[in-house]
Every structure is written in C-alpha cells, then in structure tokens.
Amino acid sequence: MGSTGCRHCASSVETNIQRNGALHYGMIALTLDDMSENLKPSETVLRSVDPVTGSQVAEFPVTTADQVAEAVGNARRAATAWAALSVDERRTELLRFKRLIHARRNEILALLTRENGKVAADAEIELTLTLHHLDWAARHAGRVLRPRGVRSGLMMLNQASRIERKPYGVVGVIGPWNYPMYTPMGSIAYALAAGNAVVFKPSEFTSAIGQWLADTFVAATGRDGLFAVVHGWGATGADLCRSGVDKLAFTGSAPTGRKVMAACAETLTPVLMELGGKDAAIVAADADVRQAAQALLWGATMNSGQSCAGVERVYVVEAVASRFLDAIAAAAGSVEAGRDYGPVTMPGQIATIARHIDSGLSDGGSALVGGRDSVRAPFVDPVVLVDVPQSSAAVREETFGPVVTVNRVPDVDAAIAAANAVEYGLGAVVFSKRDGESIAARLDVGMVSINDVISYGAVPALPFGGNGGSGFGRIHGEPGLLEFTTPKAVTRRRFRLPVEVSAHGRRRRDEWALTAISRLVGRR
C-alpha cells in the first residue's frame, strides 16, 4: 500500500480537480440515510460525501490489516533513510512540501469545502494554520532537537554528559474530520520534522483530504512510503494501533481515545491523546463586553461549532450580564448557518446537538437565540441558551455544534469554580481588562486565551493539548517536536579520576572519597 494508499482513486481525484478547475466527481446522489449506511464497518469500500448535497466526493478501498502492516513496514524502511538525513536536508524537503501545498491551494481549499463542508473563510483559516505549523516545525526542529550538554555532577566529574533526541521510527496518526488538515498535520508535520515516518488514518469522513496530503508529500519529496495513508473506519484505526508503530498520535473523541489506549497497551505502544473539550469562557465585570460577545459568538459558531477548543460555555458575572446578553443576541442576529459557517459534517452529530438543546431547555434554561428550530439538518443556526443548570448535559457534555450556554454568576470566583467543574480541560477564554492573567492562572486547562478566542492555536511556538478528559501530551511548538522523539542519555569518560568509582577492588582511599562526596552532596 505504501504512501499511495488508493493511488488509483487519489489520482482520479486530482485529475478531476485539475480538469474542471473545481471539484467534480462522479455525482452519486446520496441521502443522509445513505450517509449513515456509509458508516458500516463491514464495507470494503469507503465513500466520502459532500455533507451538504450528499454527492460522492471520492472512494477508496478499505485498507486491510495486512496492508496496514505492509504500510508500516514500508514506512520503517523509509524512516531509516529519512532519519539519516541532516536536519538541513529534512528542512529543505519539508519546506518543499509546504510550498507545493501552497501551489496547489485551490485544490485543497475546494476539497475542504466539498468533503468537509467548510465555508471559504473557514477553509482558508485551516490552510493558513497548516502552512504556518509545517513551516515552524521544519525550521525549528534542528534547534529544538539538537544534543544538549548537561552538568555531570560531583560524583561523575570526569564524564561529558548530553541528552540526545531520537525519532521513534514510525508514528501512527489517527485523525478526526473537524479540521481534517490542520489537526492531523499538528502530529504529521512535527513527527516528520523530528525524523520519523508516518502512517496516517484519516477520518472516514475526510479520506480524500488525507490522501491529498500524502500524495502532495510524495510529489514534493519523491519519497514513497515515508508518509503513507491507510483508509477505513474504526477497525482500520485499531489495526494501526496493533501494527507495530512505535508511537500512536490520536486525535478524536474521549470514548474512542480509551479504545485506542487499550489497543496500544497490548504492545506497550506509547500514545498521544488529543481529545474533546467543553471549553469555558469567563466574562469579568471589567471586560470589554461588546468585544467579548462578538469574539465568543465566533468562538462558539465558527466551523459550525465543530472545534475541540470551541467555546461551549460562558460564565458572565452578574454586574455585566444583561449588557453581555444583549450584545451576544445582537451579534448572533446577523449570523447564519450555510453562509457564515458550513453544515454539520457528521450526520450523527445532529442528534447530539438536538439532545443538548432539548436538555438545556428542559433542565431549566431558556433560549436567548434560536432553539430547537435552529436545527435544520445538515445546518444548525446559532443557539444561545441562558441559565442552564451546571448538571445539564448541555453544560457537561461536548456538543460539537454552534450551541453555547451563558450562565450568570455572582463573581469571578464562582465563574472559575464552574469553569473547572467538568471532566474536560482543553482550552479556556478570559475577558477582563485587569485580571486576565490571575484568572487564567486558576483555570485547570492546557491553553488559555485572554481577551481573544482560541488564539493559541495559531501560534506555532505554543503547545496544543489539554488535561484530564481532554487527554495528554502536546502537539505544536517545542513540546510538539519533543513529543515525537525519545531522550537518549549519553556519557563519555574524559579522564581518569584519582578515585576509581566504577570498578571492583576499590582501595580504602577510594571508599573514603566516596563517603566524602556523599556527605558533601547530602549536606548542601
């Protein structure tokens, strides 16, 4: 299978794009029911569809377990040559990859709209973020991963000591569909830059985008097998977990993350878990209320609310609550699904969104903007629910739709306690002119943006990831490069000490010196 996955299908995708200047494949009309049928893991062919029209975008044979193993074997061979390159050579090839993505931007932008449902602005954001991160990983890997000398300490005074960073070998990447390019590339680009090969299983909803990435890599570098794609549903992901990869980077929901960890535990394969979120925003009394309302509405609805770090809960202090509610209602009035953001990509998610709106209302909340009628599959217009009890599913579970709850709280302390009272700990937002830093410090999350939303995701030098139910490990930035390497400790004896420590048959004075060192270290 190698890096080409379904080469036949992929090349027909490309040809169609180039021939027509727009994405146009064999137009097979599928209803939403057909799309649910498409989830059947017993199928041997995977079809991805346009979430708005239901027309087929591409189809790929499902990769068998043997083919997954073959792809990993090929990747292992390719990894040896890749890891042997100098840092500069790898950087040159990765920047070539980046430039080819840029040169083919119209193809991928069209595919992000056609297969993933993104409106043009959301597709452009995803592409730009991806290019930014690929560029950063390529340019900074050498500096971040170079061997680092460390002090050897009193007992090993005669040793030169250093930490080296070694690539794992083959990294398996399992990705979601909500950011089908930006999110997996947060692992792929950093793993490659660190000297690994990658075998990637894209989401079954966005296989063509995954294939496009691997094909573009091969076209840019001429390296077959180093970045391979395998296609299928969860079973293919499970095959990848058990295929002998040296590390597994998973991005997806917490329930699937648990299954991935269990499968990887069988072979002690280390895992990186980028899971879901239920991000909270705090609006303090000294916030710029209008700016907060506009930014938080965008954070809740962009990409149809299908963002792991999207804003799903707002806690606003009583003193500014009515002004904030007026402002967010006014902002939402001019936002419309289908124009400002796209459809709900995964048909099954519609039921979760509807259930959360229902439970938010039946548990005692009220609808400030929209309501149950806002769900008009595959689109969902903005919904703002007010004063929903903390125990409601609408406040506790990940909705993954353009729905946000706004709860009034007496003060910032109550807002922080409520924000921290869910199992997730991915990102958070604080709006406060004076106290942003001190509020941010008390939030149990992996990422916080102060007086803006989700800005950390666009800063390549910053790590991305969460705590608790949102997973562990980090992509992006220095931690993202370190994540795809193992530390190797090296010591080199430089000279003979008058006192011989690492040998049998020590003399009395050696033992005396050892005790003296021990006392010295213990006392200071």
Q: How far is the CB of 40 from ligand NAD (least distance, A)?
A: 13
Q: Active-site residue among 59, 107, 274, 398?
A: 274
Q: Residue 469, interface with ligand NAD (CB under 6 A)?
A: no
Q: Are 122 and 341 in contact (CB under 8 A)?
A: yes
Nearer to ligand NAD among residue 203 and residue 221 (C-beta): 203
Please give the size of the binding site for ligand NAD, defined by CB under 6 A: 29
Residue type, 1: M
- Considering the complex, what minimum distance in angstroms separates the CB of residue 35 from ligand NAD? 14
CA distances from 168 to 148, 172, 507 (A): 18, 11, 43
Q: To the nearest whole angstrom, how small is the minimum distance from the Cβ of residue 425 to ligand NAD?
A: 11
Q: Rounded to an integer, what distance in angstroms lies between the CA atom of residue 232 and that of residue 482?
A: 29
CA distance 210 to 228: 10
Interface with ligand NAD (CB under 6 A), residue from 2, 54, 169, 176: 176
Query: Is 177 among the residues that bind ligand NAD (CB under 6 A)?
Result: yes
Does residue 237 belong to the site contacting ligand NAD (CB under 6 A)? yes
For 140-174, the DSSP string reads: HHHHHHS-EEE---GGGTTEEEEEEEEE-SEEEEE
Buried b / exposed e along 481-503 (16+ C-beta atoms within 10 A):
bbbbbeeeeeeeeeeebebeeee
By CB under 6 A, tell whether 175 contacts ligand NAD: yes
Stretch that binds ligand NAD, among 268-276, 281-289, 292-300, 382-390 (CB under 6 A): 268-276
Stretch that binds ligand NAD, among 132-140, 235-243, 293-301, 505-513 (CB under 6 A): 235-243
Nearer to ligand NAD, 114 or 231 (CB): 231
Q: Which of 201, 231, 247, 476 binds ligand NAD (CB under 6 A)?
A: 201
Please, which residues bridge with residue 469 across strands?
none
What is the C-alpha end-to-end distance of the chain, expressed in Å? 60
Nearest approach in angstroms of CB 239 to ligand NAD is 8
Is 308 marked active-site?
Answer: yes
395: contact with ligand NAD by CB under 6 A = no
| Contact (CB, 8 A) for 282 and 419 | yes
Q: Which residue is nearest to ligand NAD (CB)?
A: 237
Largest CA distance in the chain: 88
In 143-259 the beta strands, taken as DSSP E runs, fall at: 148-150, 159-167, 170-174, 197-201, 227-229, 247-251
308 part of the interface to ligand NAD, by CB under 6 A: yes
Which stretch in 105-113, 134-142, 199-207, 432-440 sits in contact with ligand NAD by CB under 6 A?
199-207
Euclidean distance between CA atoms 400 and 253, whole angstroms: 11
Does 89 qualify as catalytic in the annotation?
no
Sole window of 57-65, 169-177, 329-337, 371-379 interacting with ligand NAD (rule: CB under 6 A):
169-177
Residue with tokens 């989401």: 203
Q: Which residues contribute to the site for ligand NAD (CB under 6 A)?
A: 174-179, 183, 201, 203-204, 233-234, 237-238, 241, 251-253, 256, 259-260, 274-277, 308, 398, 400, 426
